[in-house]
């Protein structure tokens, strides 16, 4: 089992997090519908000022996560997320993966 962590930072609380946008919600719904049996224990933590958000989730295996990351629909959603954050001046860390 692995746990994947990501941290996102935005310049203003007026900028929505990607998962709060319509396209982001659709991406999340697809991931959950397609890979939900491979996921467990999501956590979400925001900084007191609301400008930093840290998310993590367990995956049943590195192979399952790799399969999801090779999915063309997931890739398109991640590309859209990257563009969204870049255009809003927000940043995101690369995924941090830990064996658990």
67, 95, 61: which is closest to 81 by C-alpha?
A: 95
Each residue's pLDDT, cut to its tens digit, for the chain (100 residues) gives 999 999 999 999 999 999 999 999 999 999 999 999 999 989 999 999 999 999 999 999 999 999 999 999 999 999 999 999 999 999 999 999 999 9
Looking at residue 46, its pLDDT comes to 97
First to last CA, the chain: 6
Could you tell me the domains of the chain? 2-99 (3.30.70.100)
Report the alpha-carbon distance of residue 57 to residue 76 in Å, rounded: 21
Number of neighbours of residue 8 by Cβ within 10 angstroms: 19
Segment (H or E) for 44: strand 39-46
Instruction: Check the CA dihedral 83-10-72-28 and report its sign.
Output: negative
Chain centroid, CA 62 distance in Å: 16
Spatial distance between the Cα atoms of 23 and 29, rounded to a whole number of angstroms: 10
What lies within 8 Å, CB to CB, of 20 at 6+ separation is none
Q: Given this model, what pLDDT does residue 41 score?
A: 80
């Amino acid at each position: 089992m692995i746990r994947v962590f990501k941290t996102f930072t935005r310049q203003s609380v007026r900028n929505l997090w990607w998962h709060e946008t319509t396209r982001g919600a659709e991406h999340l719904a697809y991931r959950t519908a397609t890979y939900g049996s491979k996921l467990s224990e999501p956590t979400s933590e925001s900084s007191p000022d609301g400008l930093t958000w840290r998310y993590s989730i367990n995956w049943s295996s590195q192979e399952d996560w790799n399969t999801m990351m090779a999915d063309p629909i997931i890739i398109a959603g991640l590309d859209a997320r990257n563009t969204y954050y870049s255009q809003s001046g927000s940043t995101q860390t690369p995924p941090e993966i830990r064996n658990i």
